[in-house]
Copies of this chain bind each other. A is one copy, B any other.
Amino acid sequence: MTLCWIDGQPASQLSVKDRGLAYGDGFFETLLVKAGQPLLFSGHMHRLALTGKRLAFALDLPLIESECRAFAHQMQEGVMKLIITRGDGLRGYAPVPGARGVRILQASPLPAYPPSNAEHGVRLFPCRTRLAEQPLLAGLKHLNRLEQVLARNEWHDTEHAEGLMRDTSGRIVEAVYSNLFLVKGGVLLTPDLSRCGVAGIMRAEVLRLGEQQNMAVRALDLGMSDLRKADEVFVCNSVYGIWPVREFEQLNWPVGPVTRKLQHLARGLLDI
């Protein structure tokens, strides 16, 4: 049995009355664990706190932090998923005021991605599923993820490691489980996420690393024409770091120097 805790106790089952199931009333973080340590931990905890505030949870952050550290210590290595739900609820949509949230921690092994993803880059599938524009939930890693499920169900081959997602207005937003970056004329560009999308922890780190490298860095609205004009393209998340994008439909990109440099720096953040 895989390691799993609910509210600090070993458990593998949750009440069917939980609002995380009934309404997707909750949010999650996915963290890489190495040598018993959760990586990019302060970034994940920062987003968790922000999400809790926006969804009106009364989180016990010190308790969550210490529980995550203890869980990571026990699992030693792998991927740690933390889900916070609003717990058993009143009947109907009204949330219980002041809910501190149910804490679910699950361990899974390090994913076995093909090494060529990082070395030679990946091909992106052109997802037809568009992301709806909902500023109230934009940026959050909440439990309402049917759009990602539909998008990921659009391809079944192994040729595409990720899929490109646009919003209902046609703007480029992200990949299904990654954020997206373009490099154009030495400037690092990533989609603005104020209408939809998940504000990834690695995305924030890449923006920070870019600035540290004295690059111009911008989060803004990007369309398909920006993608076509890009010198380099890459995707990122806090489990695999950075994958260059080598192909999207008719477009091809080399693995460029900016991508390689940032990939190297990101790898440093995911090593211990």
Contact = CB atoms under 8 A, between A and B. Distances in A.
A233 interface: no
Given A16-B13, A55-B146, A93-B176, A21 B21 contact: yes
A142 B22 CA distance: 9
A149 interface: yes
Contacts of A25: 145-146, 149
B93 A21 contact: no
Interface in A1-27: 4, 6, 11-25
A92 interface: yes
Given A85-B21, A132-B132, A93 B145 contact: yes
A147 interface: yes
B22 A83 contact: yes
B93 A152 contact: yes
For A93, A108, A129, the residue with the greatest tally of chain B CB atoms inside 10 Å of its CB is A93
A238 interface: no
A97 interface: yes
